[in-house]
Amino acid sequence: MTDIEVPPPTQAGPARIRVYEWLRDEIIRGSIEAGRFLDEQWVSEAVGVSRTPVREAFHQLAAERFISLLPRKGAQVRTVTSRELEEVYRTRLLIEGHALSVMCALERRVPVEMFGLIEQMEEAGDALDWFTVSYLDRRFHRAMVAAADNTVLTELYDTLRSRQQRVAVRALTARPERVEIINKQHRAIVDALSKHDAAAALQLLELHLRPISEITSVLPTDD
């Protein structure tokens, strides 16, 4: 495991959270790649904690389908499958589509945050920083969901956070030229929302969240 080059973890916060967030982010980035076996001792030394918080973090990551816990073998990083990518997009479409409809029906203002996030995404895209692009993209879409002012819906959406980012990084790594298309679609969605045009906004969102065959075709169907 010593051949993996990853940034050092943060030293702030409870040990379990530090281990969890570090492993989660490096798996999303691809620094710890799919198929890699994770050794408790290596992780505990890398983060500077005992094995107990490592085991706790492993269980949380397994629950979120980042890793698989294998008897007598330890933990293995899961591969993003075409089915998972499609299901994440479909679930997002259900939640985000409802939020857009509510925003337009109630003539809610577009959150100011969304405009700045588009510009930041363009800068991160120019730097080929897919982790940051995926993080900003998630914030853009979450701002939309939050604008519907449904706490339960927003909490449900937040449970997709990590898988949403990992799927986005995988898609952008495979098709980096899509970041320009994504930014154009974001601007079009914001324009439709500004006009309270629900039909146009939903049509744009469906196109925006449509799985790309060139990406799904090269992913495994299941793991």
Sequential pLDDT tens for the chain (223 residues): 334 344 445 555 789 999 999 999 999 998 898 899 998 999 999 999 999 999 999 999 999 889 999 887 789 998 888 888 888 889 999 999 999 999 999 999 999 999 999 999 999 999 999 999 999 999 999 999 999 999 999 999 998 888 888 888 888 888 888 899 999 999 999 999 999 999 999 999 999 998 777 667 666 676 5
Helix (H, G, I), strand (E, B) or coil at 67: strand
Parent domain of 124: 82-211
Does 221 reside within a domain?
A: no
Q: What is the pLDDT of residue 10?
A: 53
Cα distances from 38 to residues 111, 133, 138, in angstroms, run 41, 26, 27
Q: What is the pLDDT of residue 8?
A: 47
Q: What is the pLDDT of residue 11?
A: 54
Does 216 reside within a domain?
A: no
Q: Are residues 189 and 174 in the same domain?
A: yes
Q: What is the pLDDT of residue 109?
A: 95
Give residues with Cβ within 8 angstroms of 6, minimum separation 6. Answer: 22, 26, 31, 32, 46
Cα distances from 223 to residues 4, 17, 114, 117, 127, in angstroms, run 23, 27, 35, 34, 32
Q: Are residues 72 and 51 in the same domain?
A: yes
Q: Are residues 123 and 148 in the same domain?
A: yes
Q: What is the pLDDT of residue 74?
A: 81
- Look at residues 58, 77, 96 and tell me which one is the last residue of a structural domain: 77
Q: Are residues 73 and 88 in the same domain?
A: no
- Look at residues 31, 50, 77 and tell me which one is the last residue of a structural domain: 77
Q: Are residues 70 and 96 in the same domain?
A: no
Q: What is the pLDDT of residue 151?
A: 96
Q: What is the pLDDT of residue 7?
A: 45
Q: Are residues 46 and 96 in the same domain?
A: no
What is this structure's pTM?
A: 0.83
Number of domains in the chain: 2
Q: What is the pLDDT of residue 85?
A: 82
Q: Are residues 143 and 192 in the same domain?
A: yes
Residue 167 corresponds to which tokens in the numbers above?
């799927």
Q: Are residues 100 and 193 in the same domain?
A: yes
Q: What is the pLDDT of residue 4?
A: 39
Q: Are residues 105 and 194 in the same domain?
A: yes
58: domain CATH number is 1.10.10.10
Residue 117 corresponds to which tokens in the numbers above?
């996030």
